[in-house]
Every structure is written in C-alpha cells, then in structure tokens.
Amino acid sequence: MAYSLYSAIPKKPLNSIFISSPNFIFSTVNKHIPCVTPSIFPCLGGYCTWVSAVSSSVAETEEHLNRHASPGIVAKEYADLNLPERFSEDVGNLRIRQHVNPLRRGLMIPAEAPNWKEVFEDATLPLMVDIGSGSGRFLMWLAKRNSSSMNYLGLEIRPKLVTRAEYWINDLGLKNAHFISTNAMVSFQRLVSTYPGPLMLVSILCPDPHFKKKHHKRRVLQKPLVDSIVNNLAHGGQVPARSF
C-alpha cells in the first residue's frame, strides 16, 4: 500500500482534487502506483514540467530499494546526464549509509542560509526544494530542463552525497541547482525563509519510513516541518510526497 501526501494552498485553497484546505491531506492508494506514473500530480500554471518529471523519481525509489542489489540502476535511469562514475579523490567510490539517525547531536544544528545570489544565477526565480535529495540526479535532471525558469535546492543528510552532487553540478555547468548537507527537520525554516523568490514546490520522495515504533520520532514528516512548509509555501505551490 502506498501513501501520497499533497499540500494545500495556505489561506487560498485552489479547485483541485488534491487541494482542499490549509492543512496537509493524506490519501491512501489501494494499489501500488509506481513513481513512473506522470499523471499523479496536477499541473500548476507554468510548472507542468513537474508532472512529466515525476516519472524520473522512480530512480530515487530504486536507489533505496536496490542500493546493494543493483547499484547501477539509478545511473542508468539518468544516463542522459552523462555523469562521471569516478569524479573526486575526496569522495571516490561511494558506499552510502542507508539509515541515518537525524536526532544525533551533530545533526541537530541548523544550517546557515547561503548567499542565494552566489548560489543561483537568478535568485528571484521560483524555488523547488527536494527534502532527502539522495544522489541529486532527479533535481539535476529537472534543472537541466528548466535552466531559466526555476531554481532547485536539494537537502540531504548524508554529506558525501552532497559533495558528489555539487561536483556533478559544476561538471554540468548548472546555475540553477544547489545542494546542502543538513538535517531538513531543523534547517528547512531557516533556509527557505531567506530565499528571495517564491517557494513553489517541496518534494518528499520515498523518505526513510523508520518502521520500528521506537524510531517513529526520526521520521522526517514531523509537525514542525509540516507547519514550516505550509507557512512558507507560495500561493499555488504544491507538496507532492511518495512513500515506498
């Protein structure tokens, strides 16, 4: 069974089957809808690219499900990016830790907001934030196709993934994508509240479910983060989320 989370528009709900109040809506899907289905999310004005882009989120799903069984599946999904396999002596061949405790003391320190004018070529463009951006290929895929219409920010708790993603961004020459190594649970508000442009999309794709009851407190979707997303989302914005 899969659960889909859609965000409402603060104060001014739109006429949409997915949007009906200033609160978040959880909808239960009786049969598994794979991430490759592009029609899951409605279109929003000039942001229809998101609808077709959702098809590529299957790679991030497979990255979690097949990390050890088939490590090359994600690279194959995004082969058109032509990203190098070996890229940095500092990071090398990555073996990613699958589970991270976000409540660890060192991860509870909020990240400082960057100088957005240095990070993005045009810091006034609409912003998409991907919480738990993983390898970053999904955001790079989007950024490459929307280089002049939207900025993309990936928040990832595992620093080696961010180091590699930043290397790839430079290699691709992307001026509208950036990654920050941080715990989104404690840094989201500080980061997005300082961004000059509107926050239009916040994606949470296949987060760590932390199945054990004693670990539920580690789940990224906690009330403070949800409230922060709702309070910062621009009118017309959306928050698509997918579980496994």
- Encode pLDDT of 108-137 as tens digits: 577 789 999 999 999 999 999 999 888 889
Q: 168 pLDDT exceeds 50? A: yes
Which tokens in the block code for residue 111? 């990240």
More confident residue, 211 or 46: 211
Range of the domain at 54: 2-85+100-242
Is 39 within the bounds of a domain?
Answer: yes
Is 93 within the bounds of a domain?
Answer: no
- CATH code for position 43: 3.40.50
Split at pLDDT 50, 70, 90, the class of 102 is low
Number of domains in the chain: 1
Q: 2 pLDDT exceeds 70? A: no
The pLDDT, as a whole number, for residue 85 is 65
Is 54 within the bounds of a domain?
Answer: yes
Amino acid at 166: E
Query: In 10 A of CB 167, how many CB atoms?
Result: 17
Is 70 within the bounds of a domain?
Answer: yes
Active site residue 208: yes
The pLDDT, as a whole number, for residue 107 is 56
Is 164 within the bounds of a domain?
Answer: yes
Is 67 within the bounds of a domain?
Answer: yes
Count Cβ neighbours within 10 Å for each residue of 19-52 and write b for 16 or more, e otherwise: beeeebeeeeeeeeeebeeeebbbebeebeebbe
Is 91 within the bounds of a domain?
Answer: no
Catalytic position from the list 90, 130, 208, 227: 208
Kindly write down the DSSP assignment for every residue of 15-68, as one continuous string.
SBTTB-SSS-EEEEESS---TT-TTSS---TT-THHHHHGGGHHHHHHHHHTTT
As to burial, measured by CB atoms within 10 angstroms (0-12 exposed, 13-18 middle, 19+ buried), residue 87 is: middle
Is 40 within the bounds of a domain?
Answer: yes
Q: Indicate the average pLDDT of the chain.
A: 69
